[in-house]
C-alpha cells in the first residue's frame, strides 16, 4: 500500500521507517513506561509541532482509521488542523472532532474528557521525555537510575515544591509511576488528566521527536501520580462551572472577554463542551 495520488508514500513515511517505528512501539508496549529510543526520520514540520507524535501516528494509521487531533483540548487550532489535514492528505483517512468516533486521537496538552474505550489509541506529543533530567544531565546516569529504580530524586523535587509553596504546586507534566515500575513524564497535560491514564481501556503511546523516544501505557495499566503520605496527589478544582455548558467536572480554561478584564471559564475540551451545549439546547426545545 505505497503511494497515493499525492506522490507521497502512504502516511508520508517510507515502509521501512514505519516498520522500525512499529517495532519500537511493540517494545514500548511490552515494557510499560520505559523509554525506547528510535532513529528519527525528518518530518515536514518543525519540532514544536509534535513530530514525535506524528511519527507514531504515521506508523500505526491505516485507511480505515478515524483520526482526531487536539491541541490544548481544541480541534480547531492551527496545529491540530494542519496535522489533521496532513494525515487526511497522505493517509486518506477520515477525520473527526468527536472523541467517541475516533480510532486514533493525537493530542497535545490534554486527555479528552469523554472516557476512552478499548480499541482506541491515544498518541501524545512529548517535548521532553526524561523525568530525571531536571537533576541529572548525564544520559548514562539516568539510564542506570531507571534500570535500578533509583527514583529518590523525584521526591526531592516534590519536597522542594512543598518547601517553597506549602503544597505540591507542580500542575502540568506531573510525574507518574507506571505499572509500579518506571517513572514517566506524561507530557505537559494538566495533572487534572493524570487519573485518566490509570487503568485506561485505550492504548496510550508517547512520541518525543527531538529526543527520539517512544514509550507506552498499555490498556488497563496502573498509573500512579507521585506524592507524599501527608501531601497526597490532588487534581485542580474550580469554584466556577463552564460558562457555555455548565460543566463542573471538566478542565476549565480562563478566557479574558473584554479590555476591562472581564473573564469567563469554559471547558478546554471543545468536543465535550459542544456536546453538552447541544444537549442543553435540545432539552430547552423539548
Partner 1 sequence: MNATDRPLLRVERLTKRYGERFACQDVSFDLWPGEVMGVVGESGSGKTTLLNCLSARLGPDGGRVLYNTRHQGMRDIYETSEAERRLLMRTDWGLVHQNPRDGLRLAVSAGANIGERLMAVGARHYGEIRQAATDWLGRVEIDEARIDDLPRAFSGGMQQRLQIARNLVTRPRIVFMDEPTGGLDVSVQARLLDLLRELVASLGLSVVVVTHDLAVVRLLAHRLMVMRQGRVVESGLTDQVLDDPQHAYTQLLVSSVLQA
Q: How far is the CB of 135 from partner 1 (least distance, A)?
A: 7
Q: How far apart are CA 190 and CA 177, in angstroms?
A: 16
Interaction partner, residue 245 (partner 1, Zn ion, none; CB < 5-8 Å by kind): Zn ion
Q: How far is the CB of 58 from partner 1 (least distance, A)?
A: 38
The answer to whether 8 and 86 have CB atoms below 8 angstroms apart is no
Interaction partner, residue 159 (Zn ion, partner 1, none; CB < 5-8 Å by kind): partner 1
DSSP 176-194: EEETTTEEE---S-BGGGH
Q: How far apart are CA 210 and CA 40, in angstroms?
A: 8
If one asks whether residue 3 binds partner 1 (CB under 8 A), the answer comes out as no
Binding residues among 39-78 for partner 1 as defined by CB under 8 A: none
Q: Which residue, among 176, 173, 199, 177, has the nearest Cα to 187 in the 3D structure?
A: 173
Q: How far is the CB of 131 from Zn ion (least distance, A)?
A: 32
- Residue 283, C-alpha cell as written in the block: 432539552
φ and ψ of 44, to 5 deg: -80, 40
Residue in 61, 176, 214, 267 binding Zn ion, rule: CB under 5 A: 267
If one asks whether residue 162 binds partner 1 (CB under 8 A), the answer comes out as yes
The answer to whether 93 and 65 have CB atoms below 8 angstroms apart is yes
Q: Which residue, among 193, 188, 161, has the nearest Cα to 272 in the 3D structure?
A: 193
If one asks whether residue 148 binds partner 1 (CB under 8 A), the answer comes out as yes
Residue in 242, 268, 270, 275 binding Zn ion, rule: CB under 5 A: 242
If one asks whether residue 262 binds partner 1 (CB under 8 A), the answer comes out as no
Q: How far apart are CA 276 and CA 34, in angstroms?
A: 37
Q: Which residue, among 285, 276, 250, has the nearest Cα to 265 in the 3D structure?
A: 250
Question: x/- site string to partner 1, residues 178 to 197, per CB under 8 A?
Answer: --------------------
- Residue 7, C-alpha cell as written in the block: 506522490
| Nearer to partner 1 among residue 160 and residue 240 (C-beta) | 160
If one asks whether residue 150 binds partner 1 (CB under 8 A), the answer comes out as yes
If one asks whether residue 140 binds partner 1 (CB under 8 A), the answer comes out as no
Alpha-carbon dihedral angle through residues 189, 191, 193, 194, given to the nearest 10 degrees: 110
Residue in 66, 94, 153, 243 binding partner 1, rule: CB under 8 A: 153
Footprint on this chain of Zn ion (rule: CB under 5 A)? 242, 244-245, 247, 267, 273
Footprint on this chain of partner 1 (rule: CB under 8 A)? 135, 144, 148, 150, 152-153, 155-156, 159-160, 162-164, 227-231
Task: Return the active site residues.
Answer: 33, 242, 245, 267, 273
Amino acid at each position: 500500500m505505497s503511494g497515493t495520488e499525492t506522490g507521497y508514500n502512504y502516511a508520508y513515511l517510507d515502509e521501512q521507517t514505519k516498520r522500525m517505528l512499529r517495532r519500537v512501539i511493540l517494545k514500548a508496549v511490552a515494557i510499560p513506561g520505559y523509554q525506547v529510543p528510535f532513529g528519527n526520520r525528518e518530518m515536514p514540520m518543525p519540532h514544536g509541532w509534535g513530530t514525535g507524535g506524528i511519527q507514531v501516528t504515521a506508523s500505526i494509521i491505516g485507511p480505515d482509521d478515524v483520526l482526531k487531533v487536539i491541541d490544548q483540548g481544541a480541534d480547531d487550532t492551527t496545529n491540530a488542523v494542519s496535522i489533521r489535514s496532513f494525515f487526511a492528505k497522505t493517509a486518506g483517512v477520515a477525520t473527526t472532532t468527536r472523541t467517541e468516533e475516533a480510532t486514533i486521537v493525537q493530542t497535545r496538552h490534554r486527555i479528552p474528557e469523554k472516557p476512552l474505550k478499548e480499541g482506541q489509541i491515544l498518541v501524545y506529543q512529548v517535548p521532553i521525555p526524561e523525568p530525571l533530567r531536571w537533576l541529572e544531565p548525564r544520559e548514562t546516569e539516568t539510564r542506570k537510575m531507571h534500570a535500578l529504580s533509583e527514583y529518590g530524586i523525584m521526591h526531592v523535587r516534590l519536597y522542594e515544591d512543598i518547601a517553597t509553596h506549602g503544597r505540591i504546586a507542580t500542575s502540568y507534566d506531573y510525574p507518574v509511576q507506571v505499572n509500579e515500575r518506571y517513572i514517566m513524564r506524561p507530557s505537559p497535560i494538566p495533572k487534572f488528566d493524570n487519573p485518566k491514564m490509570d487503568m485506561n481501556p485505550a492504548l496510550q503511546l508517547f512520541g518525543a521527536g527531538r529526543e527520539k523516544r517512544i514509550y507506552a501505557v498499555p490498556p488497563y495499566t496502573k498509573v500512579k501520580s507521585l506524592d507524599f503520605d501527608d501531601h497526597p496527589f490532588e487534581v485542580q478544582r474550580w469554584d466556577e462551572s463552564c460558562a457555555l455548558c455548565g460543566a463542573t467536572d471538566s478542565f476549565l480554561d480562563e478566557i479574558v472577554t473584554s479590555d476591562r478584564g472581564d473573564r469567563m471559564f469554559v471547558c478546554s475540551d471543545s468536543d465535550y463542551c459542544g456536546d453538552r451545549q447541544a444537549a442543553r439546547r435540545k432539552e430547552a426545545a423539548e
